[in-house]
Structure 1
Amino acid sequence: MIFTFLLLVVAGYWLVVLTGLLEPDDTGAHWLGLGGVPAGIALSLMIALAWLLSLVGSRLVSGPPLSAVPLVALVGAWLATRAALRPLRRLFAGERGTTRGDLVGRPCVIRTGEATNDFGQAEVTAADGSSAVVQVRTTGQDRLARGESALIFEYDAHGEFFWVMPYESEH
C-alpha cells in the first residue's frame, strides 16, 4: 500500500515534468548513496522497484513474515537501484552546467548604455552556445559603449560581477 501511493506520486511527478511545468532535479540523491544521476531518476527507479518487489513478496510470503515484506522490498530496491545506476552515471558525468569561471576569457558585448568601473551589463556566449547577460565592470577610467566588444578577464566573487577590458575580435 505504501509503495503504491509513492508510485502514484512518481507518476504524477513525471507527468508534470513532461508537460514542462517543472524541470527535473539535477542534483543527485547522494544522501541515499544514489548520487551521480538526477534525484528524480534515482528515486523513481527505487520506488518502482520497491513496489514490484513488495508485490512479488506479498504473493510469495504468507503469515507473520508478511509484515517484513515492505522492509525487505525497500532494501532490495535500494540495492538494485545502486546496481542499475552504475552504468547510468557515465551518461550524466559530462553534464555540467556553465559556471562563472567558464566565462572568464570569453568575449562579450556591452548591452547597457555604457559599462564603467561601477555599472554595466554585457551579453556573453558560453562554449555550449548558451548566452547570458552578466554584470560587468571596467578597470580605471575605461568606458565601453553599448554594442562594443569586451573581453572578460576575471570574476569578482565578492561583488558578483566580471571584470572586462576593450576587445577587438578578429572577425
Structure 2
Amino acid sequence: MGEFIDAVLSFPAVVFSFLLVIVVAYWLLVIFGLTDLDDDLPWLGLGGVPAGVSVSLMVALAWFFSLAGGALSLPGLLVLPVAVFAGWLGARLIALPLRRLFPNTRQPSRHDFVGLHCVIRTGQASTDFGQAEVTAADGSTAIVQVRTTGTDHLKSGDNALIFEYDADGEFFFVMPYEREH
C-alpha cells in the first residue's frame, strides 16, 4: 500500500491526484444535494453530458494514465500531456453512449434561428410583411414571419440571412444572402 501512496503522490500523478480529490468533493456535494449537475461542455467535444460528469471522467482517466506512466518510469514531462490527451479522448468515447442518459433539457428558442439561412416564401418580403422557410439545426423546417430594414428588396425564392429577432413584433429581420455551395 505504501508503494501505491508513493506513486500517487509523485510527479506526474500528483497533479491529477489533487484534481481527483476535488472531483470526489464535488460528487459528495452532489450526493448530499448541495449542488446540481451543471451544463455540458460542447467546446471539449463532450457535449450532451453534464460538465461534472465530463470533467470527472477526464480527470479520473488522466490520473490513471499518469499513474501508469509513472509506474512505467516514463519521463514525467512526457507523461503529463499524454495523460491529458488520453483522459480527454477516453472521456469523449465514454460520453458518446452516456448522452442518452442525459436528455437535452434546454428548450428551443426563436433566437436559435438568428444567424441561419432562410428562403423567402411569400411574393416579397418588406418592412411590414413577409414569410420565409428556415431549417433548424435538427433538420426540421419552419415558416417564420420576416421583415426587411427597408433598403433590401426580397422576392419569393430569394436567399436571406436572419440577423435579428424582434420579440415585440414576433418576427425576424432578414437581409439578402448569397449562399455558398
1:85 equivalent in structure 2: 95
Going from structure 1 to structure 2, the CA distance change for 1:45 and 1:22 (only over 3 Å counts) comes to same
Normalising by structure 2, report the TM-score: 0.50
Normalising by structure 1, report the TM-score: 0.53
1:8 equivalent in structure 2: 21
One-letter amino acid of the counterpart of residue 44, structure 2: L
Query: Shift of residue 34 of structure 1?
Result: 1.1
Gaps in structure 2 of 5+ consecutive residues: 1-13, 111-166, 169-181
Query: Shift of residue 60 of structure 1?
Result: 0.8
Gaps in structure 1 of 5+ consecutive residues: 102-156, 159-171
One-letter amino acid of the counterpart of residue 11, structure 1: V
Give the aligned length: 101
Distance in structure 2 (CA, Å) of the matches to 1:87 and 1:100: 26
2:83 is the alignment partner of 1:73: yes
- CA RMSD in angstroms, aligned pairs only: 2.3
Q: 1:38 aligns with which of 46, 50, 57?
A: 50
1:137 equivalent in structure 2: none
One-letter amino acid of the counterpart of residue 45, structure 1: L
Query: Shift of residue 30 of structure 1?
Result: 1.2
Q: 1:28 aligns with which of 24, 40, 43?
A: 40
2:108 is the alignment partner of 1:96: no
2:121 equivalent in structure 1: none
Going from structure 1 to structure 2, the CA distance change for 1:74 and 1:42 (only over 3 Å counts) comes to same
What do residues 29-80 of structure 1 show as CA deviations (whole Å, max 9, x unaligned)?
A: 1121111110000000000000011000101134xx3321111111011111
2:62 equivalent in structure 1: 50
